[in-house]
Structure 1
Amino acid sequence: MDHPTAPVPPHAPRGEAGPTPTTAYTSALTAPPPPRLRRHRGRRVGELAAVGILSAALATGGTWGVISLTDESPGSSPAASADTGGSSVVPVSSAAKTNPDWNAVTDAVSPSVVAISVRSGSSGGEGSGVIIDDQGHVLTNHHVVSGAGEGGEISVTLADGSSYAGTIAGEDPSTDLAVVTITDPPQDLRPMTMGSSGGLRVGDPVMAVGNPLGLAGTVTTGIVSALDRPVTTSGSEGGDNPFAQERSTPVVTSAIQTSAAVNPGNSGGALVDAAGRLVGINSSIATVGGSSGQSGSIGIGFAIPVDEAQWIAEQLIEDGTAEHAFLGVTPTDGSASVGAATRSGARIGSVTSGSAADKAGLQEGDLVVGVDGTTVGSAESLVGLIHAKRIGSTVSLAVIRDGEERTLEATLGTAPAARG
């Protein structure tokens, strides 16, 4: 299968000036427009023609879509040094960031990661999933199971090799998450221990666990390479593949970037910390573009933060669908001057009357440059950060207006169903 690729700009640090916007979209949060194709700067063209991100590239044989990146940018006890929050239960109590015991982590987490196979007619796809409770609920990516709606069959294979039928409990295309329920699950299921992505720091050691290329139970290790990386997923392939679906609302994720190798089939699998706790759901990878069409790991993978994934999973199990936080603005990429410095951020094009943004005092022309202390370097960055928040949460917005930076507090509402 040929895998589409898209050239995108180099990854800039958070807050670095981005390119001039071309399109506006609503951060409340609908997804942004399809990726804007740009050439790399400062690269030898023959060596690395382009970098794309393949969201569905992590589900072998399934829906393949292209995503792009926007421009934007100690010394405690061993157990505490691996702490990222989340559950008080620590599967690997001897964990240490400086010297992780990956053998112990593998033993602790592997029983909680499953292989997912979807078949429809003569075609199919494979991905991964994470057991999140003893009722048989498995968290995975939406694009892993999206082809099962039209007569497709889902099979869930546990770490011991036993396979069970599965059904979809709920799907949320806008976050690329889904929950599968194992039919008549065994009583000895091993749910994954939940961590917290909020406690992660760049440089923390992590392990990716999944089913790459159909090789179940594969683990790879690396570090957290970046946090709050805005990653935009859009499009799909056409042709005769029954799994191919045109994605009308691209996914925007404020993602965890990792150097742990992830490949087709890892999608929906676990990203865990050195204590064996879930911190993310692997969902996309960067790939070398150009005519070669390579789609293997080049050391840049992305995961949906567990704090967002767990919130969505709770809703999918409860209702089969999920609601999302709503700020109520239409942003574009922009920049503004503060003294001698130029700041990049999300320029507010319009504010929805009565929305959280309106009540907070956001105005047309404001430049949002931060959310809860995290730098906003683009419109996509704002979308991803707000989308990851829970409804009803209060966020602190750093805003530049008339050459001065100020702080506004906004309590997020619920996105209208048509925009969710």
Structure 2
Amino acid sequence: MSAAATPTTAIPAVSTPDPAGTAATAGTVMSGAAAPAPGPAPAPSRRGPGWGGVTGLVALGMLLSSGATLGGVVAYDQLSGSDLAPIVQEAPVSSAEARPAALSSGEDADWARIAELVGPSVVAIHVSTGSGTSQGTGVILDEQGTILTNNHVVEGAQGVEVTTSDGLSYPASIVGTDSITDLAVLRMDSAPGDLQPAAFADSTTVEVGQPVMALGTPLGLRNTVTTGIVSALDRPVTASGEESDGSDTTYSSAIQTDAAINPGNSGGPLVDAAGQVIGINTAIAGIPNASGQAGSIGLGFAIPSNTATMIARQLQEDGTAEHAFLGVTSKDGSSSEGGATHRGAEVVSVEQQSPASEVDLREGDLIIEVDDVPVGGAAALTGVVRGLEIDSTHRFEVVRDGAVQMLEVTLGVRPS
């Protein structure tokens, strides 16, 4: 078992066991409703049908974005002007098969046309729980009525109903859930014959500054779209669940956007200028008001599409998902050399017969980068590792004894 340690940023410190093989810190939480003001606080929680407790992130609250949500998407070729043609492609696809993200400027994107064409891939999710009801968003994956959404949207569900863009509602069943990545797959019990699946872009091709659109039902306002840009990549987002050992804590290396995302956008898509899904909206940062609730302040977060499709494929197979495993316990750390300071995930311990031990990762090593993705701390390392494929090989940049060196690590399977 790995455990998290105290973060270096000026936010409430939270330590969380991490059986995935890397440690992480709090400071980000999936978006929801009641958010306490920044200050000493317990670990963020996803308890309840749609709203979760939070901690601060640089004096901001991070919230689970369920409650009333809606979203979905289909991909389109960017041809010329407003001439967009649907891509015939069922989702999810592997990252190797996915198309590159569209990087055209906001002036080139015909958002009205994209919103019109994407709409049929959007479903609203209505969830009945033992304590009431909540709503969420879903993205249609295939013509059989398979739907991708957030785990926290359907957590505790006793009944699920989905509503398509034409206003017709259908009962649905949960195929599988994964609290570790906050993803879930549903399937309509009796799907209509005219469903329009979404298509997904390769999230590794997403760039900071590219235009994007978020779809959903923020604050209960169905069929709402907002536009903005990708404002950052690889943001560590964490939220603890209900397990006391932290085994269901969510860690994401998220896409950050300034497209307005509010409570109600959970499970909805973030799409590029061609209408392709590049992420599943899942979290917002907010400054809580007097009631403890918060809205968009231009900092929203989405699970990258490659991670979402990887987990969705597994959930469709047998209802469960496995995750990549490194095999270290880490904490936020730093190392100085030549007048400069590196910040990263400091290895506290290494599990025997783990991928980390096989490449001689050692106690005291500072992991600062994975495949050119900066690792600023323990949470960032966990988010990056959990978004990678099992048995895939990656380049880890490590500071050891004041010198930077590279290690190639083939990730294993996280022990159950």
TM-score normalised to structure 2 length: 0.80
Q: Is the CA contact (8 Å cut-off) linking 1:137 and 1:180 kept in structure 2?
A: yes
Superposed CA deviations along residues 11-55 of structure 1, whole A, max 9, x for unmatched, are xxxxxx756987475473467465599xxxxxxxxxxx7499988
Partner residue, 1:240: none
Q: Is the CA contact (8 Å cut-off) linking 1:271 and 1:281 kept in structure 2?
A: yes
Superposed CA deviations along residues 172-211 of structure 1, whole A, max 9, x for unmatched, are 0111100010111011100011112111111111100112
Instruction: Give the partner amino acid of 1:401.
Output: R
- Distance in 2, matches of 1:216 and 1:245, equals 36
- Distance in 2, matches of 1:360 and 1:209, equals 43
Aligned counterpart in structure 1 of residue 108 of structure 2, from 92, 99, 112? 99
- Distance in 1, matches of 2:290 and 2:230, equals 30
Q: Is the CA contact (8 Å cut-off) linking 1:70 and 1:380 kept in structure 2?
A: no
Counterpart secondary structure, 2:144: coil
Instruction: Give the partner amino acid of 1:234.
Output: S
Counterpart secondary structure, 1:190: coil
Instruction: Give the partner amino acid of 2:120.
Output: P
- Distance in 2, matches of 1:33 and 1:254, equals 13
Q: Is the CA contact (8 Å cut-off) linking 1:56 and 1:144 kept in structure 2?
A: no
Alignment CA distance shift 1:79-1:197 (3 Å)? farther
Alignment CA distance shift 1:139-1:22 (3 Å)? closer
Q: Is the CA contact (8 Å cut-off) linking 1:30 and 1:249 kept in structure 2?
A: no
Shift of 1:338: 2.2
- Distance in 1, matches of 2:326 and 2:180, equals 16
Counterpart secondary structure, 2:204: helix
Partner residue, 1:198: 204
Instruction: Give the partner amino acid of 2:205.
Output: G
TM-score normalised to structure 1 length: 0.80
Partner residue, 2:219: 213
Instruction: Give the partner amino acid of 1:314.
Output: R
- Structure 2 unmatched ranges of 5 or more: 1-5, 30-36, 60-76, 85-94
Shift of 1:289: 2.8
Does 2:153 correspond to 1:153? Answer: no
Partner residue, 1:162: 168
Q: Is the CA contact (8 Å cut-off) linking 1:338 and 1:403 kept in structure 2?
A: yes
Instruction: Give the partner amino acid of 2:164.
Output: L
Alignment CA distance shift 1:272-1:98 (3 Å)? same
Counterpart secondary structure, 1:316: helix
Instruction: Give the partner amino acid of 1:165.
Output: P
Counterpart secondary structure, 2:155: helix
Does 2:369 correspond to 1:363? Answer: no
Q: Is the CA contact (8 Å cut-off) linking 2:104 and 2:211 kept in structure 1?
A: no
Shift of 1:224: 0.6
- Distance in 2, matches of 1:169 and 1:286, equals 30
Alignment CA distance shift 1:327-1:251 (3 Å)? same
Superposed CA deviations along residues 317-345 of structure 1, whole A, max 9, x for unmatched, are 00100000000000000000122211110
Q: Identity percentage over the alignment?
A: 48
Shift of 1:107: 1.6
Superposed CA deviations along residues 368-399 of structure 1, whole A, max 9, x for unmatched, are 00000011111111010011001011110000
- Distance in 2, matches of 1:63 and 1:246, equals 21
Q: Is the CA contact (8 Å cut-off) linking 2:198 and 2:277 kept in structure 1?
A: yes
Does 2:233 correspond to 1:224? Answer: no
- Distance in 2, matches of 1:162 and 1:302, equals 30
Does 2:16 correspond to 1:28? Answer: no
Counterpart secondary structure, 2:156: helix
Aligned counterpart in structure 2 of residue 138 of structure 1, from 137, 147, 156? 147
Superposed CA deviations along residues 116-144 of structure 1, whole A, max 9, x for unmatched, are 00013561000101001112110000000
Instruction: Give the partner amino acid of 1:205.
Output: P
Q: Is the CA contact (8 Å cut-off) linking 2:136 and 2:153 kept in structure 1?
A: yes
Partner residue, 1:385: 384
- Distance in 2, matches of 1:250 and 1:260, equals 26
Instruction: Give the partner amino acid of 2:278.
Output: V
Q: Is the CA contact (8 Å cut-off) linking 1:227 and 1:256 kept in structure 2?
A: yes
Does 2:103 correspond to 1:111? Answer: no
Shift of 1:62: 2.1
- Distance in 2, matches of 1:340 and 1:112, equals 53
Instruction: Give the partner amino acid of 2:138.
Output: G
- Structure 1 unmatched ranges of 5 or more: 1-7, 10-16, 38-48, 72-76, 237-243
Counterpart secondary structure, 1:361: coil
Q: Is the CA contact (8 Å cut-off) linking 1:127 and 1:212 kept in structure 2?
A: no
Instruction: Give the partner amino acid of 2:53.
Output: G
Shift of 1:361: 1.8
Counterpart secondary structure, 2:274: coil
Q: Is the CA contact (8 Å cut-off) linking 1:154 and 1:166 kept in structure 2?
A: yes
Instruction: Give the partner amino acid of 1:265.
Output: G
Instruction: Give the partner amino acid of 2:216.
Output: G
Alignment CA distance shift 1:350-1:375 (3 Å)? same
Partner residue, 1:278: 277
